[in-house]
Structure 1
Amino acid sequence: MNVFATLKTVFFGSKFLSSPVPIDGTPRRDLVSALNGLMPLCRTIPGVRLALDIREGQVVLALNWTPRTDGNASTGSYHYIVSDEEGVREMADSQVLFTENGKDNLPGSMDGPRKHPTVSTEKTEKDSAHLKKGVQKKAEPTSPEDTGKKAKSHTLMQEVTAFLTSRYRFRFNVLTEETEVASVENNIPDTHLRYTKVDERWMNSLSLEAIETGIDCWDRDIQRFVRSRRISEYHPFTAYFEQLPEWDGTDRVSALARRVSDDPVWVNGFHRWMLGLSAQWMQLNPDNNRANSVAPLLVSSRQGLGKSTFCRLLMPDTLKSYYTESYDLSSPAFAEAKLAAYGLINLDEFDKLGASKMPLLKNLMQASALNIRKAYKHSASSLPRIASFIGTSNREDLLVDRTGSRRFLCVSLKHAIDCTTSVEHKQLYAQLKTELLSGERSWFNKEEEQTIQQHNALFYKHVPEEEVFRLCFRFATEEDNPQEVLSLSATQLFERMKAAHPSIMRGMTAYSLSRILPQLGERVHTTKGNVYRVVEC
């Protein structure tokens, strides 16, 4: 390899000679690029030192190194001079100077006369010195002092790591994105330790304990470990299911449902819903695009029957912090974020939710994949859904959209719920886990959804348009005489209803009626538009 030829190509082959000198004295961009090109070359030469001296009208580049063939030989100093007048030229042999006592010598004395005057501006001289110093610093080998600092830093981190892991256990909660800590106690397995969030007080306590044991560390040394990827990740729900015992074969899910009601539709539907809840907690087949899209609704006009208490009873002790009754649908982004942060969301007093919120709620209930941007991050992340929904209501006429009623499994309470008998959560969820792993379905099929819709007929909210319609008409059946069956549009129905009951129909419109009719009966599409087959009462 011809070092000098390469040196000329990399540095003096750049275009910086042909471009004008910046008037502010700053280095040219292509000069910096040329210096970057020298770095791979310098790494191949033992003991290399490179100096760059820039003066008005000329540039001197000095490259010093120890020859490979003779490590004891004097260090050679080879120089190139660049000027606007003479271009690039290598100094004559008589001008080559050799280092004395390991010190570099540039061509000519720094204090002696020069062919070109020194730079007239102070800034250019400073830039030259800074550039020269930076190049030399990169090329210099690691000093013993630097090596000692690295060794000390390595030893310190080993001491900090050994101290923390001997006294504490750490885990990174992927739901809260926070590190949790537990004190190691004798005769207590790690699975039974009580963890808490590492807040500022905990961080300061860990730093003080480390210093008191003789470790010469700073707060940042403790934080570096606690907030690193060395802390293993922990998912509260999957970890809970991994630690469950074997199921003993007793059906606890149906027994839990019967605390509320013996209605077969409720008991079977609650069991299916619990399978969906457990599948999401286990993160079982997260790519199948099926969410637990049904919500049980506990309905009673009487207070104090234990509706909300029963909802809370479903959560195991270690997962109670992932239950919430606070769900604000006025903020869609925050509402969606809670689907990835909580295990169970109670829509308490469901009957107070406005009809305008229902479309958003149903979309959220069906969402399986979430695209959420957290407050302190610049981009959105795809997060798995964890949460299922349950709700309570003090009114029985709570469902407005009949076509969407399949999303709610309503049950009317006839007595107080038994909330005093403890729930064997481990066996309850061990049963659900066993059933899921055995291939049991975790979602409602079409037949089950149709059964829910029929079951929910008692919970529909009857609007005035519907009441007047039923006073005037009923939907035709196959048994009706074809001559009595009328095919009328929504507007025609509205006009006949208004003629029959003008005072009751005051304030109603054909549009409001048209939104109710598809929920009451079948709409038939004809060449003349959509009509409804009805019989006058």
Structure 2
Amino acid sequence: MKITLIRTGADTGRESLVTCEAGAFMERIKTETQGKYVSGLRTMLAYGFGTDHGSYTHIDRLPRVCPGVEWGRTREGERKLKHYNGLVMLEVQRLSGFSEVELVKRQAALLPQTCAAFAGSSGRSVKIWVNFALPDGSLPQGPEEVSLFHAHAYRMAVQCYQPILPFPILLKEPLPADSFRMTQDSAPYYNPSSVPFCLEQPLSMPAEQTFGEHKLAERNPLLRLQPGYESSQTFTLLFETALGRALDELENWRRGDELYPLLVHLGEPCFRAGIPEEEAVRQVLVHFYRQADEQTVRATLHNIYRECKGFGKKSILTPEQSTCLKLEEFMERRYEIRYNELMGDLEYRQRDSIHFYFRPMDQRARSSVALDALQEGIRVWDRDVARYLTSNRIPLYNPVEEYLCDTGRWDGKDRIRALADLVPCDNPHWREFFYRWFLNMVAHWRGSDKLHANSTSPLLIGAQGYRKSTFCRILLPPELRFGYTDSLDFNSKRDAEMYLGRFLLVNIDEFDQISVNQQGFLKHLLQKPVANLRKPYGSSIREVRRYASFIGTSNHKDLLTDTSGSRRFVCVEVTAPIRTDVTINYRQLYAQAMHDIVKGERYWFNDEDEAILKETNREFEQLSPLEQQFHCCFRLPGEGEEGEYLSPMQILEVLHARNREIKLSGSHVSTFGRILKKNGAQSKRTNKGVVYRVVRV
């Protein structure tokens, strides 16, 4: 069994892969390298910045270890899945030290399915490798089969190991590519002949089970506030409430008056609320630092605390305050909720359970939350839960910005143009135009240009079965593929404009099906930087940020019917099936786009590009019967040739003489003038209107 060590250069961002046997890795972690980077990390975590702050200078010296899969390289140098090892990694974190680490290792070794158990790089965690296999002893091979198998195996491992471990297992989304930092453990547990758990190959992802966790409610009101609430903030809130009551009792007391009467009325509420005596003294000295004598304050509060009985037995909070704080603590403890700005929906998942994916907070979920709160003794109504969910307590979440900011450093390899090369074509400008369009798409996701839209769209034209639509779909990474659609309805203009702020990439499939009457609205959508809409049940029209970029496919060449030109499309004829079975490193693909945009690379099409587009798109323009008739009777003069100046009406009269079906209405005259201008006919304005220089055939 081979595992993979992944090292990423801090300066270059280049990734290197090294594989080694699992037994050799266990021997390697028994002794630390000469640089002692693991010890340095543990010292920093223990004495430097705590657990979540600061940075370690030599963190890039510690490679990431991937036990679940053996990685390899494709011919293009991309990472690919070479072999699945069937190892599921469980993590137990936040241990106090060496003794608890050893205890967890001993408990994990009790099960014969444990392949390895050793301390993590922090020195306060344990990594447990659990062996799994199919009933015949083999392992799944395809990426989809591996993902399904690994997800079910992780849930089985948690259910089997949690009862024997004295500390909770860290629950997170199981991925075959899960990794950890290089570590050091002088006595790791390793069993190369571990017995694998037998698991049938699943056909779908495990369903999210109903939340079934029951916790004993904390009786201490100081600990019932939201998780992460510092004790000083808790005491401050209680003290301010007690001070408010004391000031209500002393209606005429003002700052600068004698402090002793206020202390007498303040001491008992602080005692009843459960504020420690020393904390009450500190709060008084902070509030009245100019007139408070520390010895007098201490003596007064000490005597009051001695006289009173029932410390912390009476809440000084109003019923509304108490309910609000209990509800906030309950929501923070039981659920993780966010507002998805792109989707416009509330999303949630339950904490401390095998729920790894956010789901929409629909009415069924809201009712469940209210019932769970009532079961814990919190007297709330549905409107209280709804008020909390629509307040600023819920953090904002933008999946696009989060993904783009998490792509990491670009390794310098051009992946955008390599993605364009997957499309076989004869257009020499395709690579550069696709590169500009891709940068433009990412730039508008970031909101770099709010005055213009990504108004240029590639059009892939080729025979059926050339995988054009599949190529459009794989342009987005799996994490953002919810933002892809190919079902744009031009008949519903309001829904079409809402798509601008809801989707990231819109595929206009079968582009040639767009009628001539819909071309104007299509141009309006392509160039619209924002959408001004009134959302359902909304009372005002709001400006909705645009995210959508457009791409199109078609099986027919003559698909451009706009008489004003074709600069908004990058038409390319696909000459062979597109290669869509390649491995795409999406992180590095979008890291390159982010790098080039920040560097100042041009992501818009300039006048020179648009001139090339107009020229290369001519073969894809559809000639109307009127235009075909014109070319049969007239032509544009060559160099040095005089020709004659005729108005569109005069030219139409000549065409009408040859074909009586050609109409001479005003709309046909104006349309024909645009056709002459598109063909490059020289024009000038006279007292008869605009005339064009042509030669009769």
After TM superposition, is the score higher than 0.5?
Answer: yes
Corresponding position of 2:653: 495
- Aligned in 2, Cα 1:207/1:498: closer, same or farther, shift over 3 Å? closer
Q: 1:361 and 2:361 equivalent?
A: no
Corresponding position of 1:95: none
Q: 2:422 aligns with which of 255, 259, 270?
A: 259
Corresponding position of 2:644: 486
- Tell me which structure has the larger Cα radius of gyration: 1
Distance 2:637 2:249 in 1: 97
Q: For each residue in 1:108-152, what CA deviation from the matched residue of structure 2 results, as whole angstroms up to 9, or x when unmatched?
A: xxxxxxxxxxxxxxxxxxxxxxxxxxxxxxxxxxxxxxx989623
Distance 1:505 1:261 in 2: 45
Corresponding position of 2:21: none
Q: Which amino acid aligns with 1:522?
A: A
With 207-216 and 341-350 compared, the bigger mean Cα shift is at 207-216
Corresponding position of 1:162: 329
Distance 2:316 2:548 in 1: 50
Give the TM-score normalised by the residue count of structure 2: 0.52
Distance 1:258 1:525 in 2: 45
Q: 2:661 aligns with which of 472, 481, 506?
A: 506
RMSD: 2.8
Distance 1:523 1:343 in 2: 42
Equivalence map 1:15-54=2 (5 Å) = none
Q: 1:210 and 2:373 equivalent?
A: yes
Distance 1:246 1:185 in 2: 33
* Alpha carbons 1:261, 1:267 under 8 Å: kept: no
* Alpha carbons 1:465, 1:508 under 8 Å: kept: no
Q: For each residue in 1:243-283, what CA deviation from the matched residue of structure 2 results, as whole angstroms up to 9, or x when unmatched?
A: 21111111111111111135332211111111111011111
Secondary structure in 1 matching 2:429? helix
Corresponding position of 1:299: 461
Q: Which amino acid aligns with 1:266?
A: W
Q: For each residue in 1:179-230, what CA deviation from the matched residue of structure 2 results, as whole angstroms up to 9, or x when unmatched?
A: 11123358x9xxx952111112222332333344444444443333222211
Q: Which amino acid aligns with 1:256?
A: L
Q: 1:322 and 2:480 equivalent?
A: no
Q: 1:248 and 2:411 equivalent?
A: yes
* Alpha carbons 1:298, 1:411 under 8 Å: kept: yes
- Aligned in 2, Cα 1:468/1:492: closer, same or farther, shift over 3 Å? same
For residue 376 of structure 1, report the CA deviation from its aligned partner.
1.0
Q: Which stretches in structure 2 are left out of the alignment for 5+ residues?
A: 1-247, 253-313
- Aligned in 2, Cα 1:497/1:451: closer, same or farther, shift over 3 Å? same
For residue 508 of structure 1, report the CA deviation from its aligned partner.
4.1
For residue 337 of structure 1, report the CA deviation from its aligned partner.
1.8
For residue 453 of structure 1, report the CA deviation from its aligned partner.
0.7
* Alpha carbons 1:237, 1:281 under 8 Å: kept: yes
Corresponding position of 1:114: none
* Alpha carbons 1:272, 1:442 under 8 Å: kept: yes
Q: 1:271 and 2:432 equivalent?
A: no
For residue 318 of structure 1, report the CA deviation from its aligned partner.
1.9
- Aligned in 2, Cα 1:312/1:516: closer, same or farther, shift over 3 Å? same
Equivalence map 1:53-452=2 (5 Å) = 151-185=318-352, 193-262=356-425, 263-286=427-450, 289-300=451-462, 302-452=463-613
* Alpha carbons 1:292, 1:366 under 8 Å: kept: yes
Aligned length: 385
For residue 469 of structure 1, report the CA deviation from its aligned partner.
1.5
* Alpha carbons 1:265, 1:452 under 8 Å: kept: no
For residue 448 of structure 1, report the CA deviation from its aligned partner.
0.4
Secondary structure in 1 matching 2:623? coil
For residue 45 of structure 1, report the CA deviation from its aligned partner.
13
Corresponding position of 2:686: 527
- Aligned in 2, Cα 1:350/1:231: closer, same or farther, shift over 3 Å? same
* Alpha carbons 1:401, 1:519 under 8 Å: kept: no
With 222-231 and 413-422 compared, the bigger mean Cα shift is at 222-231
With 291-300 and 526-535 compared, the bigger mean Cα shift is at 526-535
For residue 437 of structure 1, report the CA deviation from its aligned partner.
0.5
* Alpha carbons 2:563, 2:674 under 8 Å: kept: no
Q: Which amino acid aligns with 1:242?
A: C
- Aligned in 2, Cα 1:410/1:177: closer, same or farther, shift over 3 Å? same
Q: Which amino acid aligns with 2:677?
A: P
- Aligned in 2, Cα 1:276/1:379: closer, same or farther, shift over 3 Å? same
* % identical aligned pairs: 37
- Aligned in 2, Cα 1:401/1:505: closer, same or farther, shift over 3 Å? farther
For residue 371 of structure 1, report the CA deviation from its aligned partner.
1.6
Distance 1:452 1:330 in 2: 28
For residue 156 of structure 1, report the CA deviation from its aligned partner.
2.7
- Aligned in 2, Cα 1:221/1:290: closer, same or farther, shift over 3 Å? same
Distance 1:362 1:370 in 2: 14
* Alpha carbons 1:169, 1:181 under 8 Å: kept: yes
Distance 2:565 2:324 in 1: 59
Give the TM-score normalised by the residue count of structure 1: 0.67
Q: Which amino acid aligns with 1:521?
A: G
Q: For each residue in 1:300-331, what CA deviation from the matched residue of structure 2 results, as whole angstroms up to 9, or x when unmatched?
A: 2x212111111111122222222112222223
- Aligned in 2, Cα 1:469/1:357: closer, same or farther, shift over 3 Å? same
- Aligned in 2, Cα 1:47/1:291: closer, same or farther, shift over 3 Å? closer
* Alpha carbons 1:355, 1:400 under 8 Å: kept: yes
Q: Which amino acid aligns with 2:571?
A: C
Corresponding position of 1:30: none
- Aligned in 2, Cα 1:207/1:278: closer, same or farther, shift over 3 Å? same
Q: Which amino acid aligns with 2:579?
A: D
Distance 1:422 1:308 in 2: 17
Q: For each residue in 1:54-112, what CA deviation from the matched residue of structure 2 results, as whole angstroms up to 9, or x when unmatched?
A: xxxxxxxxxxxxxxxxxxxxxxxxxxxxxxxxxxxxxxxxxxxxxxxxxxxxxxxxxxx
Distance 1:498 1:523 in 2: 22
- Aligned in 2, Cα 1:45/1:419: closer, same or farther, shift over 3 Å? closer
Q: For each residue in 1:513-536, what CA deviation from the matched residue of structure 2 results, as whole angstroms up to 9, or x when unmatched?
A: 434222222341232322221223
* Alpha carbons 2:656, 2:663 under 8 Å: kept: no
* Alpha carbons 1:465, 1:516 under 8 Å: kept: no
Distance 1:507 1:498 in 2: 5
* Alpha carbons 1:402, 1:460 under 8 Å: kept: no
Distance 2:380 2:541 in 1: 37
Secondary structure in 2 matching 1:228? coil
Corresponding position of 1:52: none
Q: Which amino acid aligns with 2:364?
A: R
Secondary structure in 2 matching 1:461? coil
* Alpha carbons 2:338, 2:394 under 8 Å: kept: yes
Secondary structure in 1 matching 2:567? helix
For residue 352 of structure 1, report the CA deviation from its aligned partner.
0.7
Q: Which amino acid aligns with 1:277?
A: M
For residue 233 of structure 1, report the CA deviation from its aligned partner.
0.9
* Alpha carbons 2:444, 2:547 under 8 Å: kept: yes
